[in-house]
Amino acid sequence: MKIAALFFDLDGTLVDSAAGVALALNTALAEAELPSFELPTVRSWIGDGPDALILRALQACQMRDVDLPSLAAHLRQRFDAATLATPSAQGAPFDGIAPLLLRLGEHYPMAVITNKPTPLARAVLKAAGLLQHFEQVHGADLPEQRKPSPLLIQRAAHQLGVATNAVLLVGDGPADLQAAQAAGCHLAWANWGYGPLPSPLPVDVWRLAAPADLLAQLPKRDPTQIH
């Protein structure tokens, strides 16, 4: 199996951002005089982008007799503002990610494929010291682009000049798995992330217990790429 490019999810794969996402969400909720949520709860909601995150929070608040779309739009504005105000608070790279990207960048073009909007994604990556490793950052700036849609994978592959079936996506959530399947690309499951492990995990999915496992996997399948 030839791998020509590597794509990575962001939250829960590259950056341990759950605490930062919870901070931005709870900041927005507090400004609207709504209750906050504990970190484990927010972590379980991460993966489908901020709009879905906010909707889950509002559902948990059991809001009634309010204009939910308007409230959600307001909270989204405040969430984005809180994220951009302190991107360094959004989290640090998982252990082993930075040296992994440094090594892989010598051999593969790399992109980030995330349900976080592009401006927020770039800010978080820059604050985490990872932005320079990626040729492209593709965030879900429109609802139809959100994984499990394959659109961002397809767009990144096209811009890099590679076939989608020569792409390996590294992710930690069901949306990553479904997007990879829809795009016809390969998937490596980041077991250190936030998403629940699919049961059973498809046999063609690589399972990574730690970032360094990706280096261990790639030579077996494409020995010309890593030396």
Q: Which domain CATH number covers 61? A: 1.10.150.240
Q: Is the pTM of this model over 0.85?
A: yes
What residues make up the domain containing 73? 18-89
pLDDT of residue 219: 63
The DSSP secondary structure of 133-174, one letter per residue, reads: G-SEEEE--SGGGSTTSSHHHHHHHHHHT--GGGEEEEESSH
Count of structural domains, the chain? 2
For residue 144, is it within any domain? Answer: yes
Are 62 and 96 members of one domain?
A: no
Question: Which is catalytic among the residues 9, 11, 16, 176?
Answer: 9
Highest mean pLDDT among 59-68, 101-110, 193-202: 101-110
Is 71 in contact with 63 (CB distance < 8 Å)? yes
User: Is the pLDDT score of 225 beyond 90?
Assistant: no
Closest CA to 162 of 146, 179, 137, 185: 185
- Please confirm, yes or no, whether 9 is among the known catalytic residues: yes
End-of-domain residue from the set 30, 57, 89: 89
CA-based end-to-end distance of the chain: 17
* pLDDT one-digit tens code per residue, 70-83: 999 999 999 999 99
Element (H, E) at 26: helix 18-31
User: Is the pLDDT score of 223 beyond 50?
Assistant: no
Residue 87 tokens, joined: 């991107």
Are 127 and 214 members of one domain?
A: yes
Are 103 and 74 members of one domain?
A: no
Are 133 and 171 members of one domain?
A: yes
Band of pLDDT at residue 224, cut at 50, 70 and 90: very low
d(CA 220, CA 223): 6
Mean pLDDT of the chain: 94
d(CA 78, CA 34): 13
* pLDDT one-digit tens code per residue, 95-140: 999 999 999 999 999 999 999 999 999 999 999 999 999 999 999 9
Are 64 and 99 members of one domain?
A: no
Q: What percent of the chain has pLDDT over 70?
A: 96
Is 4 in contact with 77 (CB distance < 8 Å)? no
Are 152 and 104 members of one domain?
A: yes
